Structure 1
Amino acid sequence: MTRLLRRILLVFVVFAKHGTGDKHGTLHCEPQNMQLSNVSEELQITWESHPSCLCVKNLTYELLVLVEHKQVHHEEVEVVGSSHRWSWRSFLPLECASHSVKIRSRCKNQTSLWTTETLPAQEPSAEIQVFPQDHVFEVGSKVIFCCIIPEGEMLSEMFLDNYDAPSNTSMLNNHTYALTVDLLSPTLNSDANVICKTHTDQNGACAIFGYRPSDSNLTCETRDFMSVECFWKVGDQIFNNPTNYWLLEQSCGQTNGTCSQKVEVDSSERNWTLIAHNVLGTIELTDEADLTKRVYMYAPQTVPVSLVYARNASLRWFWTVQQYNLLNLTCQINIADRKNKIQIEKNGIGLTSIVLNDLIPNWTYTAIVRCATVSDFWKWGDWSQPTSFDTKGDIPDALDVWMHQEGNQTLIIWKLLEDHQSHGHIIDYEVIWTDSEEKEQFNKRSIVHPSHSIALNLRSFKKYIVKVTARNGHGSSIPSHIIIPSHFQDTPERNITQIRGIEGGFNLSWAPSPNASCGYILDWCPVSGDHSLDWLKVPPSKTSATIYSKNLKDGVRYRLSIFICTVDAPVLLETREGYVREKRIPNDLFKNLRWEQHPSDVKISWDKIILKDQSAFIEGYGLNCTDESGIIRVTTDDLEASSLTVNLNIGSYAFSVYALTSLGECGLTTLDVTLNSHSDNLVSAFLISLFTAFTLLLVIIVVCYRHWACIKQRVYPSIAEPVLSGNWLPSQAVASYCSSEEFTMAVSELHCEFPSLENNNTCQNDKGFTYTTTLAQTQPLKKHMPCEVVLPQASSIICSKQNVFPNPTYSFIFLGNNEETELETKFQNFEEEVLNNYQPQDFIENQTDEDSMSCVSAYIVLPQSP
Structure 2
Amino acid sequence: MAQGWILLILIVSMVISFLAADPPDQPSKPECHIPCDDICGVDIHCRWNHRFDAQIPTSYSLHWETADRIEGHVNTGTRLSGFVHREHFSMNSELRVWVQAENKHGSAKSQVVVFNTEDLTKPSPPIITWSHEDPLEISWSSICSEMHLSLGSCDVRYRIQAEELWEEDDVGAQVNYEFSGPAQPGVVYEFQVRCSCATGLVSDWSATHRIRSAEEAPTGQMDVWKDCGVLTTNADCVMTWKKLPISQAHGHIMGYEVTLFSKHSTTVLVNISVADPRGLLVCDELKCYLNSTLKSVSSASVSAYNAHGATVPSLLTIPTAGNVRSGNFIDVKMNMENLTVSWQLPSQHPNTRPFKEYVVQYKQTGRLLGKGFDWIRVNKSCTTVTFTGHFKRYWPYQVSLFTVTPDQQSHHVSSVISYSCHGIPAKVRSFKVISIAETHATLFWEPVLLSMQNGQVLSYEIGVHGQMAVYNVSASPQDQNNTFELQNLSADQEYEVWIKAVTKAGPGPKVTTSFITKQQHHLQLKSKSHLLSLLIPVIICCVLVFLSFHKGASKACLCMNEKVPDPYNSTIYQMMTYQANESISWISIPIFEPHPTVSALEVVEIQRPLCEDQTKSPVSSEGCTRKHRYGKGEYSKMVDSEDEKDMSKVTGRDDCWSSTEEEQDSSGYERHFLPTAEEILNS
State TM-score, norm by structure 1.
0.40
More helix by share: 2
Structure having greater relative contact order (Cα 8 Å, sep ≥ 6): 2
